[in-house]
Structures are given as structure tokens and as C-alpha cells.
Structure 1
Amino acid sequence: MTGAGDLLARMLQDVFNEPDPQRRAAAIDEVFTDDVVFVDAERAVTGREELAATVTGLLAQGPGLVFTPAGPLRGVGDLGMRPWRLGPPGGEPVLGGLDVVQVVDGRIARLWTVLDT
């Protein structure tokens, strides 16, 4: 069973930072359950295909920006969380937030993203 820390790291690097849609889709298949639910302030989507479309849209809004971890992993039981920042490589972040995941059978089943105010 894969732990929340490993999944959060793969999610950030191989999904939200992956510009190639085919490699991103392969990572989504490995990291997320079929019926994953992703919720942020603007949307709630269900399933890998809707998640992939959402990530594609998010990446299009900030070309050249990258997500980086901004603090330690914290968790308990099947829940994990980690803060992140979004910005140009080596530059000041333009956005930050916290991802919270629920892991089921070694994959992320639920992902909540809470943006910093």
C-alpha cells in the first residue's frame, strides 16, 4: 500500500507539474482511484477523466509556473496533507494552498485543495 506522502509527492510532480497530457494521464491512473473526487473553491469533479481535464485547464492558466512543496507532510490514518506554492521556477510564489488527501487501497480517493487567502 502506498502512503499519503509518496502519493502527494507524485501528485504534485507527475500530475500537476507534468505538461505532457499522456504522461499526466498515466500518472493519474497510477495515483488516483477510478472514482476520485477533487474539490476546490471553484469546482467538484469526479473520476480520472474529469480530474485530467481540470488539471489541463489549471496548467493552461499559468504556463511556466510550477508547484513546489511548502512544508512538511502531515497526516493521520488514511489522511495526508501538505502545503504548496505555485510560481515561476526559483521565483516568488503567486499562489499557495494546502492539499488534503484521503487514501484508499494505496491510491488517492479524495483530494481537497484549500487556497491561501
Structure 2
Amino acid sequence: MAGAEELLERMLQEVFNEPDPQRRAAAIADVFTDDVVFTDDGRTARGREDLAATVTGLLAQGPGLVFTPAGPFRGVGDLGMRPWRLGPPGAEPVLGGLDVAQVADGRIARLWTVLDA
């Protein structure tokens, strides 16, 4: 069963960095529970379909930008955390934040994204 560290890495690369909607949907099905809840500063998405639509909208706001890990994974119990940066490949990031994931039965059940100030 996948742990939080592996799931956060897959989420970043296979979901938030995946431009193809079909491959992204397949990764969402593998990484997230059916009833996942994703919350960031501006929205809460409930369920895989709502999450997929939210990610599609986020990717449309910054075409060509990529998410990269910006620090080590940290975790305790069923929670995992990892900072990230968003920017053009090889250039200064335009945004950063921290993802906090709660894992249940080998999938992310809750995901919070806290943006840097």
C-alpha cells in the first residue's frame, strides 16, 4: 500500500504536472479516494471528478509552468507534507506552497494546499 510520500510525489508529477486529461484522470483514480476533499485558499473540491475539473482549471491559468518539490517530505501518522514551487522550467518560481495530505487505505483522502504569502 502506498504511503504519503509516494502519493504526494505521484500527485505532483502525474496529476498537477500532467497536461493530458485522460492520463491525469487515470492518476487521480490511483492516487485519490473516491470521496477526496481538496481545499486551497480559493476553493474546496469534493470527489475525483470535481478534483479533476479543479486541476484542469489551475493548469489553464499557467500553461508551461511546472510544479517541483521545494523541500523534504515530512510526515506523521497518516499525514504527509511537502513544500513545492511553481514556475517555468529552469527559471525562478512564481508561486510556492505546502501540500498536506491525509492518507486512508493507500490513497489521499484529504488534501490541503497552503500558499506562501
How far 1:40 moved relative to its partner? 0.4
2:116 alignment counterpart: 116
Q: Counterpart in 2 of 1:64?
A: 64
State the percentage of identical aligned residues. 84
Corresponding residue number in structure 2 for 1:96: 96
Q: Hey, what's the Cα distance between the residues in 2 that align with 1:83 and 1:20? A: 24
Please give the alpha-carbon distance, in whole angstroms, between the structure 2 residues aligned to 1:25 and 1:100: 21
Task: Tell me the amino acid that sits aligned with residue 44 of structure 1.
Answer: T
1:87 counterpart residue number: 87
TM-score calculated relative to the size of structure 2? 1.00
CA distance in structure 2 between the partners assigned to 1:76 and 1:42 by the alignment: 26
Helix, strand or coil at the partner of 2:18: coil
Cα distance per residue 1:22-76 (max 9 Å; x no partner): 0000000000000000000000110000000000000000000000000000000
Output the CA distance in 1 between the equivalents of 2:13 and 2:88: 15
Q: How far apart, CA to CA, are the structure 2 residues paired with 1:43 and 1:52?
A: 13
Q: Which amino acid aligns with 1:23?
A: R
Runs of 4+ in 1 over 4 A off after TM superposition: none
Counterpart of 1:45, as a letter, is: A
Name stretches of at least 5 consecutive residues in structure 1 with no aligned partner: none
